[in-house]
Structure 1
Amino acid sequence: MSEASTSLLTTVLFFLLLLSAFFSSSETGMMAINRYRLRHLVKKGHKAALRTSNLLDRPDRLIGVILIGNNFVNILASALATIIAVRLWGEDSGIAIATLGLTVFVLIFGEVTPKTVAAMFPEKVAFPASLVLFPLLKLLYPMVVALNWICGLLLKPFGIRPGEAVQDQLNAEELRTIVTDPGMLLPQKRRGMLLGILDLEKVRVDDIMVPRNEVLGIDIEDDIKDILDQLRDCQHTRVPVFKGDVNNLVGMLHMRKVARLLSEEEVNKAMLLQETTEPYYVPESTPLHTQLFNFQKTKERVALVVDEYGDVMGLVTLEDILEEIVGDFTTDVSDSSQDITPQEDGTYIIDGSASVRDINKILGWSLPTEDARTINGLITEQMEFIPESSVCLKVGIYRLEIMQMQDNRVKSVRMFTADQWKKIRKAKKK
């Protein structure tokens, strides 16, 4: 009789250890599950995800029912282990053996192992567990509510309200971290597009605009023959028309209208001016994401960038902003890549007018872009005076050697990283 009852108690004890493992793994699985993937599955109508989401809406009650079950199982297992150990080894040794043995078994089989598995595979644990926890919460609801009420009273002086669900929110930098995670199942191209969208808030129109000295436009004071030749060779869909200087802007001319005019026998300046439209101006400090919405709102595709005094600084197009998101999609060779000439020793000869942002994108560097737009501007900003040729300077981990000066500006510069500089020095020693 005694042996049979001991065997029965041992079987019950083994079953209680399994229940302890279930409650421990359920707690870890529920808390470790990816909330954003869970929301996605809920939207798709996944039943297990819906049950799990309902349980996680009130984490205080979920934890309450899990801990009630886990503590009840562990305490009952402790009592049974003590009874079994006393019967087998006597009262004096049995209690010590039961305490030590059950501690080891609960830690290994009831806590560490199931929680490790649940942390690695939270969905595979949480979804099946919701089948048990959901009805168990309804069964123990009065006890869980009472327990949460007592806990709420204890936490109230600290300003903590357990009943309030915490909303998971991501800011732009946290979202960027998720997107750049190598474990994301996203192609590199799409990942780059998502990062490009996030970067729109950091970049202003003056960072990507075509600078004023590179804007191709029609000077209405030129000879009409030269103007027509320029229009026939123009590769842009819209060009600014001005008088003498780009600040004296008359309007924007659409090449589709010009094509119709060129079919006429005689074209004069008055006919061209009649086809121009009102120019669209934007401040230099406008963020790209704002300007993208402004283009959409105004149905414009080209904007003239002006500074605080109203002077034209450059020109920005809708295509320029879109290329910041999807990358270059035109068939023309990038002007920025032409400004960078790789050398055999691993260095680069770069034009002084090259954009710092473009260099960072093409070479994968991280030159500062806050205070200067071009390499010439970066050098003068760092040195605080107009340098001479053959001057070298250090910007972060990058080395710059001025190769040529022209009209008080840097014409070309040799650039390389600190690692490349070490390789060059080693090569010279050999």
Structure 2
Amino acid sequence: MSLFQNILIIAILIAGAGFLSLTEIALAGARKVKLKILAESGEERAQKVLDLQENSADFFAASQIGLNAVAILGGILGEGAFRPYFLSFVQQFYTGNWAETISFVLSFTLVTSLFILFADLMPKRLAMIAPEKIAVSVINPIQIFIKVCKPLAWFINAIANLLFRLFKVNTKRDDNITFDDISAVMDAGAQAGVLQKQEHHFIENVFELEERNVPSSMTTRENVVYFTLNEAEESIRQKLAEFPYSKFLVCSEDIDSVIGYVDAKDILVRILNNQKINQLNESTIRNVLTIPDTLTLSEVLDRFRSTKEKFAVVINEYALVVGVITLSDIMITVMGDWVTPIEADQQIIKRDNNSWLIEGSTPIEDIKHALEIDEMPDEENYETLAGFMMYRLRKIPRPADTVIHSNYKFEVVDVDHFKIDQLLVTRLLQQPEEPPEEPTS
């Protein structure tokens, strides 16, 4: 064959190998989520790609058969086509025993470079740009190619499956999507500008509802405002005026003897009708939803939805009331820093770029967000910053007690009746060379 014929055949082989490389990367890299969207919009070829991904053994066997056959044939033809011309060129400068070897190396290098560039590197990089679009475009011709290669592909797959079973290799693809996968996609979307900062913040907080327990968002026991059955009318009026809540617990004598709750609207109606508001009875007191403190916020949302309630009492394993939680509390958790902090009372106050004043009752998840800390040590053992300090100090904290973690110093500022009211958190500009094993005090 002439040089032109050889070049034409090699060009065809390179194009064929390039098509197979392009197809291989596109079908492997096409994301199922996008393909399902295309399939639902009426694109039949997208469904064919999904079906091929579910059973990809025949395709990869056929692809490797084609790629290897083309590469071997291209090497044979290329070496025979170009070596005489390289030999003539080399003999103009050198006529020794190595002339044949040098011409072979030059011919081999040229053919290999052409296949690497045009049949491997460029097609694969193109396929990575838009894998779904390319996969849908090539699915029909590649299915014909798979049918042509099926007898040999079946034989190769049979041997491969035998070896996989022999070495107990699981070849089933795991397509389960984890929270880390979704979080990575959200981060990429935020960096690309597809998600606004607040949208990314909201979505992240929604996923955290499954991890955060009730105590991280509830109104704690000491802050619960409640009425007793024998409470004076003046006291009820004063509480209504002082605390702008829509619902109040009603207890027999103390907070642990809960009877139900009253809606502030019902009391307002009694006032407008000139009725006594301290005569709380069955027509006024409503049954209250009671939940354990071990529930996650996601589970609490399910309880609210199933019971049509928006207010619940939280009790611990000893049947003692530890707080109350409302639907609004959960929504504030989702909204985070973007909500107007009326009820939050500014739990985290940023003094400057390296220091914060933080209330001891602040949930640990909020601390991690504010300080950009990935995780706290053994955080399953506590819910709040005060709990973190007590867990690390192994004692009742006192003012000036400190704990160092993740290049931050947590210092107790104010303690009221053994309760940590406020802490000063400072970012250390330099990591201590040898952080103390035991917290200092």
The TM-score bracket by the shorter chain reads 0.7 to 0.9
Aligned CA distance change for structure 1 residues 329 and 288 (closer, same or farther; 3 Å): same
Query: Residues 387 and 84 from structure 1, CA distance in 2 versus in 1: closer, same or farther, beyond 3 angstroms?
Result: closer
Alpha carbons of structure 1 residues 81 and 222: separation in structure 2 relative to 1, 3 Å? same
Query: 2:422 aligns to what?
Result: 412
Contact 1:51–1:134 (8 Å) recurs in 2: no
Query: Is 1:24 the equivalent of 2:24?
Result: no
Correspondence for 2:70: 73
Cα distance in 2 for residues equivalent to 1:314 and 1:269: 24
| Residue of structure 1 in register with 2:260 after alignment | 251
Residue type at the aligned position of 1:63: F
User: In structure 2, what is the equivalent of residue 45 of structure 1?
Assistant: 42
Question: Matches of 2:323 and 2:307 in 1, distance apart?
Answer: 19
1:116 aligns with 2:129: no
Distance 1:298 1:329 in 2: 29
Per-residue CA deviation, residues 208-262 of structure 1 (Å, 9 max, x unaligned), is: 1110000122133321232244336652222111133111212111223223222
Is 1:398–2:389 an aligned residue pair? Answer: no
The equivalent position to 2:312 in structure 1, one of 293, 303, 316, is 303
For residue 324 of structure 1, the aligned residue among 319, 323, 333 is 333
From 144, 148, 163, the equivalent of 1:139 is: 148
**More divergent stretch after superposition (328-337 vs 41-50):** 328-337
Q: Please give the alpha-carbon distance, in whole angstroms, between the structure 2 residues aligned to 1:349 and 1:87.
A: 82
Kept in 2: contact 1:64–1:147 (CA 8 A): yes
- Distance change (3 Å), C-alpha of 1:420 and 1:240: farther
- Inter-partner Cα distance in structure 1 for 2:302 and 2:266: 26
Counterpart residue number, 1:427: none
**Structure 1 residues 98, 208: CA separation in 2 closer, same or farther (over 3 Å shift)?**
same
Secondary structure at 2:46 match in 1: helix
Supply the AA of the counterpart residue of 2:290.
Answer: Y
Q: CA deviation at 1:297?
A: 1.0
Task: Specify the SS of the correspondent of 1:313.
Answer: strand
- Report the Cα distance in structure 1 between the residues aligned to 2:314 and 2:414, rounded to whole angstroms: 30
Residues 367, 385 of structure 2: 8 Å contact kept: no
In structure 2, the residue matched to 1:34 is: 31
Structure-2 separation of matches of 1:82 and 1:341: 74
Secondary structure (helix, strand or coil) at the match of 2:260 reads strand
Partner Cα separation in structure 1 for residue 289 and residue 226 of structure 2: 15
Counterpart CA distance in 2 for 1:11 and 1:357 is: 65
Q: 1:350 is matched by which residue type in structure 2? A: I
* Counterpart code for 2:162: L
| Distance (whole Å) between structure 2 residues aligned to residue 82 and residue 379 of structure 1 | 74
65-74 vs 366-375, which moves further: 366-375
Please, which runs of 5 or more residues in structure 2 have no aligned partner?
89-98, 433-441
Question: Larger deviation: 394-403 or 300-309?
Answer: 394-403
TM-score (normalizing by structure 2): 0.83
| 1:174 partner letter | D
C-alpha separation between the residues in 2 aligned to 1:323 and 1:267? 35
Whether the aligned pair in 2 keeps the contact of 1:220 and 1:227 (CA below 8 Å) is no
Instruction: Verify: 1:287 aligned to 2:296, yes or no.
Output: yes
Aligned AA for 1:248? S
Contact 2:231 2:278 in 1 (8 A): no
- Which whole-Å deviations, capped at 9, do the CAs of 1:366-397 have from their partners, x for residues lacking one? 67353334444333332222343334432442
Tell me the secondary structure at the aligned position of residue 335 of structure 1.
coil
Tell me how far 1:190 sits from its aligned partner: 2.5
1:199-238 correspondence runs (5 A): 199-231=208-240, 234-238=243-247
- 3-state secondary structure, aligned to 1:245: coil
Name the % identity. 19
In the alignment, residue 257 of structure 1 is paired with which amino acid? D
CA distance in structure 1 between the partners assigned to 2:325 and 2:221 by the alignment:
10
Please, which moves more after superposition, 321-330 or 35-44?
321-330
- Would you say the 8 A contact 1:347–1:420 is kept in 2? no
C-alpha distance in structure 2 between counterparts of 1:157 and 1:246, whole Å:
66
SS at 1:258 equivalent: helix
Once the two structures are TM-superposed, the CA of residue 66 in structure 1 deviates from its matched residue by: 1.6
Relative to structure 1, the CA distance from residue 364 to residue 8 in structure 2 (aligned partners, 3 Å threshold; closer, same or farther) is: closer
For 2:158 and 2:234, the matched residues in 1 are separated by: 88
- The residue type paired with residue 52 of structure 2 is L
| 1:62–1:319 CA distance, 2 compared to 1 (3 A) | same
Q: 1:217 and 1:128 mapped to 2: Cα distance?
A: 67
Once the 2 structures are TM-superposed, how far is the Cα of residue 7 of structure 1 from its aligned partner?
1.9
TM-aligned CA deviation for residue 281 of structure 1: 1.0
CA distance in 1, matches of 2:170, 2:402: 61
Matched, 1:385 2:395: yes
Count residues with an aligned counterpart.
Answer: 416
Counterpart position of 2:57: 60
Query: Deviations along 1:177-215, whole A, 9 cap, x unmatched?
Result: 322233472222222222222211211111211100001
Residues 176, 198 of structure 1: 8 Å contact kept: no
Whichever residue aligns with residue 404 of structure 1, its letter is D
Once residues 173 and 23 of structure 1 are traced to their aligned partners in structure 2, the CA distance between those partners, rounded to angstroms, is 33
Unaligned runs of 5+ in 1: 423-430
Q: Aligned in 2, Cα 1:342/1:107: closer, same or farther, shift over 3 Å?
A: closer
What's the RMSD between the two structures over aligned residues?
A: 3.1
Aligned CA distance change for structure 1 residues 58 and 359 (closer, same or farther; 3 Å): closer
